[in-house]
Amino acid sequence: MFNINNFLHLDALKPAVEWKGFPKYNFVGGHIDAESIPVQSIKDSLNKIILKEGKTLGKYGLESGPQGFLPLRKFISNQLKISAKINCSEREILVLSGSLQALDLVNQTFLRKGDTVIIEEENYGGTISRLKRLGVNMVGIPLEKDGMNLKILEQELNDLLKKEIIPRYIYTIPTIQNPTGTVMSVAKRKQLIKLSKKYQIPIFEDDCYADLLFEKERPPAIKSFDKEGYVTYCGSFSKSIAPALRVGYLIANWEVLSRILPYKTDAGSGSLEQMALAEFCKEYFNSHIKTLKIKLQKKSEAICNALDKYFGSSAEYKKPDGGIFVWVDMHKKVDTSRLYELALKDGVAINPGNEWSINKSGRHKMRLCFGNPSIKEIDEGIKRLAIICRKEFGIPTKIANL
């Protein structure tokens, strides 16, 4: 038999585990529930656009070139003008196969092994794992209620300057930060741009959740304050419409975009997704988001209630302003990596904090996503999680109604 081990390099990634279905209580990942998918309007949109544009499927890039389906780029440009105050033309947009491709392309362009980047110290697991894999040093900045601590950021920038280290970018998720849920204030956004210019370090702004603020008004993107091309911005439709629609986008000045685009070697992103979204969004995007947010807010309340009910004061969290997750700070006795293992065996999936943080406090924190389970499942799943946690760690010390 062929033995692949003889052909793997020392830095080979660990083998995949075969997928056997989702856990019953799925509090991980950006999934949403079946009822939130606007099936009928996606179908109607596809019907319309396929008859109009289907014949262009014969060409790579349709008739739009490698930057993505032009009507979709037009929608993105118009929409972000209103929602995020970003002024950009279609030529400054690159449509991608999901915003994870944005991370990979920006990293391929800017980063090599041994480089240094600045990130919020509690951060999206996929960002941390990518940077680790690339052998990049991460300088973590703590978060305050209104986003990244900019005093500490400036200290770090000065320290790096003294050491003659040039960080390759400052990565931030300013709106509904993942996992903390914080929203960066407008004042800080403006200040961040100033620091970026002062220290001549670009910003990579990841704005995937910004459409999902429940009640607060969406703040202008950092990109909206950028007149000189310091910000590379990414967004996504996975969170606002459906995760399995693999469409995201990058926005940057053409001078920057033209250096990122050559790393996109997939001969274009999925055309049917791009076509469907272009047509769907034109008519339904804003009304769909409105409905979706109401559903998500109800689930957000359900998970907060369940945490209060079953964990009481042993689970601290900030009630989400939007999005699909809550970041929970457990008692210091609780090792969430261990909890993750035990819970998974019992059908409850959670994100252990140490995968979502580059500081040690991650050890007793966890991220819980609430987009996928029903309100009933949220209650059942959190109850089950509390029972498992109590059994292993003695936390919570008692569980109400049990």
Residue type, 158: N
Residue identified by tokens 């390099």 is 9
| Interacting residue with a copy of itself among 4, 164, 376, 391 (CB under 8 A) | 4
Cβ distance to a copy of itself smaller for residue 210 or 245? 245
| Interacting residue with a copy of itself among 162, 163, 217, 267 (CB under 8 A) | 267
Q: Which residues have C-beta within 8 Å of that of residue 396, sequence separation ≥ 6?
A: 310, 311, 312, 314, 315, 386, 389, 390
Q: Note whether 114 binds a copy of itself by CB under 8 A.
A: no
Tell me which residues in 160-189 interact with a copy of itself (CB under 8 A): 168-169
**Helices assigned H by DSSP within 111-185:** 125-134, 150-162
**Alpha-carbon gap, residue 237 to 277, rounded angstroms:** 8
Q: What region does 394 belong to: left with phi over 0, alpha with psi -120 to 50, or beta?
A: left
Q: Note whether 31 binds a copy of itself by CB under 8 A.
A: yes
Q: Are 205 and 174 in contact (CB under 8 A)?
A: yes
Q: Note whether 134 binds a copy of itself by CB under 8 A.
A: no
Cβ distance to a copy of itself smaller for residue 130 or 331? 130
Tell me which residues in 208-237 interact with a copy of itself (CB under 8 A): 228-230
Q: Note whether 127 binds a copy of itself by CB under 8 A.
A: no
Span near a copy of itself by CB under 8 A; candidates 153-161, 249-257, 314-322, 394-402 = 249-257
3 state SS of 96: strand
Determine how many CB atoms are found less than 10 A away from the CB of residue 73. 24
Cβ distance to a copy of itself smaller for residue 57 or 82? 57
Q: Note whether 194 binds a copy of itself by CB under 8 A.
A: no
Tell me which residues in 269-298 interact with a copy of itself (CB under 8 A): 269-273, 276
| Interacting residue with a copy of itself among 255, 290, 391, 402 (CB under 8 A) | 255
**Alpha-carbon gap, residue 207 to 274, rounded angstroms:** 19
Cβ distance to a copy of itself smaller for residue 197 or 363? 197
DSSP conformational letter for 230: -
Cβ distance to a copy of itself smaller for residue 317 or 370? 370
Q: Note whether 344 binds a copy of itself by CB under 8 A.
A: no
**Alpha-carbon gap, residue 166 to 182, rounded angstroms:** 27
